[in-house]
Amino acid sequence: MRLHRLAKHYFAALGVALLALPFIVDAMFGHGWVRIADFALLYIMLALGLNIVVGYAGLLDLGYIAFFAVGAYTYALLGSPQFGLHWPMWAVLPLGALFACGFGVLLGAPTLRLRGDYLAIVTLGFGEIIRIFMNNLNAPVNITNGPQGISGIDPLRVADFSFGKAHEWFGVEFAAVHLHYYLFLAFTLLVIFVSLRLQHSRIGRAWMAIREDEVAASAMGINTRNVKLLAFAMGATFGGISGGLFAGFQGFVSPESFSLMESVMVLCMVVLGGMGNIAGVVLGGVLLVVLPEAFRHGAGPMQQALFGKTVVDPESLRMLMFGLALILVMLWRPAGLWPSAQRRRELMPDEAVAQQERDTVYDVSK
């Protein structure tokens, strides 16, 4: 792939900015915000995984967080005092991804013939089933420790290098959140790379063909069963990796982190950012993690300054504004904030192009 010279400079600048980001954020807003950046990266990974299922293949999945949960619990069970197992990260993360992949196929298999509302409710039910099992698998045999969750999970560690402790290189101190940031950034870039390569591959185009018209796609010789299963498996794998990283980062998992609301949140990132467009999904992920946090910190003091007292509780105001913002974006930009070129053409047709199409493509006499 040959890059334009300008594009090369652009990518170099972007790379430096991404590497320097945790230090800038730390200096400007404090440690807590670096942590939020870490979470943003985790959510971006999730959103990119869901983007494969929803954005590329057009299969509405409302239980996506279940795969995140599978990845997280795999890591938690194999690397915590719960069973006394302390497997290394390089063994547990791929295993979590593999389990999530298996669950993806498990969900995909019975839903192959379903569409629209039917698919949505079944995926939603699947997500709930996983969560309820994790909530209740503490009796008669204690596996997941039930609603109390699993704590004391091993930090992410490669050989002797632990991401959970601060390290010092060249006189610069890298705190644990900084190290996690770089680790997550590497994984996110990997996921972006895979997504990009998939998008224009044979498989990616098959997914898009299914999204546009399943009957036509199967008439063109696409094996819709395998390709749909692959979409579920692929999306679930990304979710599983993200889940494992989450468990190692947080050190604690409980079924509460995997409620339906989380699935909806990830879906919002995909839809708000722009379905099927990687840059849009990344943007959606960043916005939906950072904005609510900024609101949480900003709403209280702002009200103090404006009215002299806190009129509305910032926590409830947060969800209110979130809903409002979502509606407004969907009204003004129905294809998302940064849609893919194709969706933009579909949802915001250019009149001149449409006219030309009507004149030349559909008119047999010309």
Partner 1 sequence: MGFMLGLKAFTAAVLGGIGNLRGAMLGGVLLGLIESLGAGYIGDLTGGFLGSNYQDVFAFFVLIAVLVFRPSGLLGERVAERA
Give the number of other Cβ atoms within 10 Å of residue 115's Cβ. 12
Question: Which stretches of 52-130 are assigned E, i.e. beta strand?
Answer: 79-80, 85-86
Q: How far is the CB of 124 from partner 1 (least distance, A)?
A: 7
Q: How far is the CB of 163 from partner 1 (least distance, A)?
A: 36
> What is d(CA 270, CA 264) in angstroms, rounded to the nearest whole number?
10
- Residue 316 touches partner 1, criterion: CB under 8 A: no
On whether the CB atoms of residues 112 and 244 are closer than 8 A, the answer is no
Give the number of other Cβ atoms within 10 Å of residue 185's Cβ. 18
Name the residue among 263, 241, 216 with its Cα closest to residue 60.
263
- Residue 293 touches partner 1, criterion: CB under 8 A: no
- Residue 113 touches partner 1, criterion: CB under 8 A: yes
- Residue 231 touches partner 1, criterion: CB under 8 A: no
- Residue 364 touches partner 1, criterion: CB under 8 A: no
- Residue 219 touches partner 1, criterion: CB under 8 A: no
* Stretch of residues binding partner 1 (CB under 8 A), selected from 13-21, 124-132, 153-161, 162-170: 124-132
- Residue 153 touches partner 1, criterion: CB under 8 A: no
Closest to partner 1 by CB, 53 or 245: 53
* Stretch of residues binding partner 1 (CB under 8 A), selected from 87-95, 121-129, 245-253, 315-323: 121-129
* Stretch of residues binding partner 1 (CB under 8 A), selected from 73-81, 120-128, 283-291, 353-361: 120-128
- Residue 224 touches partner 1, criterion: CB under 8 A: no
User: According to CB under 8 A, which one of 98, 121, 194, 317 is a site residue for partner 1?
Assistant: 121
Which one-letter amino acid corresponds to residue 220? M
Token code pair at residue 144: 């997941």
Question: Which stretches of the chain are assigned E, i.e. beta strand?
Answer: 79-80, 85-86, 150-151, 157-158, 161-162, 167-169, 172-174, 252-253
